[in-house]
Amino acid sequence: MSSVFLILFTILAVSSIAQSTVPSSKTFKYTFREQLANGSLEEEHSGLYTDIQVVRTNSPFALCHYTTFTPVYVLGIRLGIHLVWEANKANPVQLNSTLTFGLTGNLVLARPNGHVVWQTGTANKGVVDIKLHSDGNLVLLDKQGKFVWQSFDYPTDTLMVDQPLRPREFIEQVTLRNSPAVDEPFLSELTLNFKTRNFASLGMWLANPKFDSKFSFLRLGDDGNLKAYSYFTKANMSWNAWEVTYTLFSREYQHPSECHLPEKCGGFGVCEESQCVGCPSPNGPMWWSKTCSSPSKLPTCAGGKTIGAVSYFEIVGVDHFSSEYSRRTMRLIECRDQCSRDCKCKGFFYQKDTSKCLLASQLNTLTKAEGTGTDRVAFIKFAK
Ligand SMILES: *[C@@H]1O[C@H](CO)[C@@H](O)[C@H](O)[C@H]1NC(C)=O
Ligand SMILES: *[C@@H]1O[C@H](CO)[C@@H](O)[C@H](O)[C@H]1NC(C)=O
Ligand SMILES: *[C@@H]1O[C@H](CO)[C@@H](O)[C@H](O)[C@H]1NC(C)=O
């Protein structure tokens, strides 16, 4: 008896899922054609965008595709001139590729030969509609209005207001929030909120944009810098529509300054007050240039051990861009021995005042130490 019910129930369940398909009026097939672009994106993406007008919103966000000067296309979401989300950055598609939202509720980006490049993987999961919300979230909805898929779950280098970022381990969730400033009602306030596993929420104040910061985002740039951008919808000129409202590594601060950006001075170089000021070498300092690099002649290694004579030259008054010195104190000679034994170690940093050691497998930007800083010394490895 019970097995009859089970079969009946299964039939009912299957047929009810089968009923929830996308109404044909909502389906679309959009083809990437050569056409006049709607505008150009800001420098970071330096491309031309074309809006995909089958999915619209009443906000400055738009579903679009963009192309750089080669005829390949990336599907994305833009906020004004900034791209805030990309579907297929690593796999651009060529002309005549298609974006299809079919009856089954799957959103598929495919090459002209039908090869699928990207998809939401939501076929037959009860999707009935697609929407671009006014907060920039592209969502696929079921009959109850629940999100079966949302672009907010697939962040790229950009975090938008109220988009939860879920890193693993210690921090459960990071969210960029916009709210009216407490004391000054004319200002808004941008904060970064952390929900940790062990403690209550922590909020980090970022900025008080001079206008409503609802349309803001935080971006991790290719150079490793973190910046918030805010968009002012009421601006009537494009030049006053955007403001960089927060910069983590800034020219205006001592710590962290631009000199703490690992690649500020490329592979090697001394940075002082946001300028690359020198390229140290075993034969003494030289002017910094893009080709400045740490000694290429390193002692040979075999089986993880250093063979041959190891030498170091000293640079007084600099720190490594990161500041992960050992907790344990040690003598300079111990720090040096550890570096000499380690083939990956390209140099070591030693704090004479605290007797702390840092071994570096990557040198990059050397940050001029604050104050006189003569108790901070870098020792760069080379083969004699
Ligand atoms: C964007 O470009 C398309 C195709 O060239 C055009 O049909 C559409 O009107 C443009 N939209 C805007 C907002 O300019
Ligand atoms: C794209 O499709 C158009 C119209 O079907 C065709 O004329 C054109 O050759 C195609 N271009 C490419 C690169 O496949
Ligand atoms: C732009 O807006 C400002 C302030 O609202 C106004 O004073 C100005 O006349 C406007 N300019 C144009 C070109 O509409």
pLDDT tens digits, 45-63: 788 999 999 998 888 999 9
Let me know if residue 340 belongs to a domain: yes
Contact 47, 41 (CB under 8 A): yes
Tell me how far apart the terminal alpha carbons of the chain are, to the nearest angstrom: 87
Residue 266 and residue 311 share a domain: yes
Is the CB of residue 95 below 6 angstroms from any atom belonging to ligand 2? yes
**Strands 356-360 and 347-351, sheet pairing:** antiparallel
Residue 294 and residue 363 share a domain: yes
Residue 217 and residue 291 share a domain: no
Sheet strands side by side (includes 318-320): 275-278, 268-272, 364-368, 318-320
Domain termination site, one of 134, 153, 172:
153
138 beta partners = 132
Domain termination site, one of 223, 247, 271:
247
Residue 168 and residue 144 share a domain: no
pLDDT of 9 over the 80 cut = no
Residues 112, 113, 119, 122: is their CA dihedral positive or negative? Answer: positive
Residue 180 and residue 64 share a domain: no
Residue 241 and residue 162 share a domain: yes
pLDDT of 291 over the 80 cut = yes
With 0-12 / 13-18 / 19 or more C-beta atoms within 10 angstroms meaning exposed / middle / buried, residue 24 is exposed
- In this structure, of 58-67, 87-96, 202-211, 257-266, the range with the lowest mean pLDDT score is 202-211
Let me know if residue 10 belongs to a domain: no
Let me know if residue 7 belongs to a domain: no
Residue 224 and residue 209 share a domain: yes
Let me know if residue 361 belongs to a domain: yes
Residue 148 and residue 174 share a domain: no
Residue 175 and residue 141 share a domain: no
Residues with CB under 6 Å of ligand 1 are 35-36, 38, 50-51
Among the ranges 15-24, 41-50, 213-222, which has the highest mean pLDDT value? 213-222
Q: With cut-offs at 50, 70 and 90, classify the pLDDT of residue 237.
A: low
Let me know if residue 306 belongs to a domain: yes
With 0-12 / 13-18 / 19 or more C-beta atoms within 10 angstroms meaning exposed / middle / buried, residue 86 is buried
Residue 178 and residue 128 share a domain: no
Domain termination site, one of 213, 247, 281:
247
Q: What is the pLDDT of residue 278?
A: 93
pTM of the entire predicted model? 0.81
Residue 292 neighbours by CB under 8 Å, 6+ apart: 265, 266, 267, 268, 269, 276, 279, 286
Residue 162 and residue 49 share a domain: no
Going from the Cα of 323 to the center of ligand 3, the distance in angstroms, rounded, reads 48
> Residue 287 sits in which domain range?
258-383
Is the CB of residue 33 below 6 angstroms from any atom belonging to ligand 2? no
Residue 332 and residue 308 share a domain: yes
**Whose CA is closest to atom 10 on ligand 1?**
38
Task: Pick the more confident residue, 243 or 76.
Answer: 76
**Overall number of domains in the chain:** 3
Let me know if residue 326 belongs to a domain: yes
At 376, list the tokens: 């901070």
pLDDT of 197 over the 60 cut = yes
Going from the Cα of 244 to the center of ligand 1, the distance in angstroms, rounded, reads 28
Distances in whole angstroms, Cα of residue 1 to Cα of each of 5, 12, 13, 14, 217: 7, 17, 18, 20, 58
Let me know if residue 9 belongs to a domain: no
